[in-house]
Amino acid sequence: MPARKQPAQTARPVRDLPAELAERLAEALHRERIVPRFVDSYVVEHGRFGLQVHAALYRDLLYLLQREALLAMTVRALELIAAQTPAPQKSKKRAAARDAGFRRAFLSALAHRQKWSAGDALEFQNGLRMYEDLVAAAAPARRNRKPFDTTNHPFVDRCAFLLDTSFLEKARVAATRALNDIERLTAQVAESVLHPPGETPAP
């Protein structure tokens, strides 16, 4: 009697991690409404209701702050990706090439997801390099931030200036809280993309 033919196993589809991470980060930032909550709570806490009087100006403010939040999120996500697979000393060049490839693919996927023009994508990349340079110069060692501390970070400084130059220090405190939320959300999303539940880690 001939042996029963075993059904062919379906190959697991190859995951596009940069595209998946870009999609999930942008979606999470929008879903969690970190930026609108940051602005609305600041307005109520400090009685700065004038920031919301003009609907068009308020929408523009939210758009600019959302872009800053996406920059901060991207910086942190790329840091986490690079830290996931540290390379031995002999493989530094290979690791750098790997990280650069992931970065290019991630930024391309993010630009596609956000429907940016070539000019928009280039502007975001320039902003990202500026963020990375300032973060590296100001905070070589990351420390835990308390809710009422302010921290030396481009997101905090730029958002405070955009939000309320008249109460700059209060705006920096609020922006620091928002940055804490952004980095916490980024870590959660990155972990869920890199190590999804039920996936067996590679040996």
Q: Is residue 76 a contact partner of residue 183, using CB atoms and an 8 Å limit?
A: yes
- Per DSSP (E only), the strands in 10-142 are none
Of the ranges 53-67, 76-90, 145-159, the best mean pLDDT one: 53-67
Question: In Å, what is the CA distance from 199 to each residue of 5, 15, 21, 192?
Answer: 28, 12, 16, 10
Q: What is the pLDDT at residue 202?
A: 47
Q: What is the mean predicted confidence (pLDDT) over 154-179?
A: 94
Residues sharing a CB contact under 8 Å with residue 185, sequence separation 6 or more, in sequence order: 28, 29, 32, 34, 73
Specify the residue for token string 């309320």.
Answer: 164
| Residue 103: both structure tokens together | 């970065």
> Hey, what amino acid is at 1?
M
Q: What is the pTM of this model?
A: 0.83
Task: Give the pLDDT confidence score for residue 200 in this predicted structure.
Answer: 53
Provide the token pair at 129.
């390099």
Per domain, the residue ranges of the chain are 17-194
pLDDT in tens, 96-144: 778 889 999 999 999 999 999 999 999 999 999 999 999 988 765 455 5
Q: From 202, 150, 192, select the one nearest 175 (Cα to Cα).
A: 150
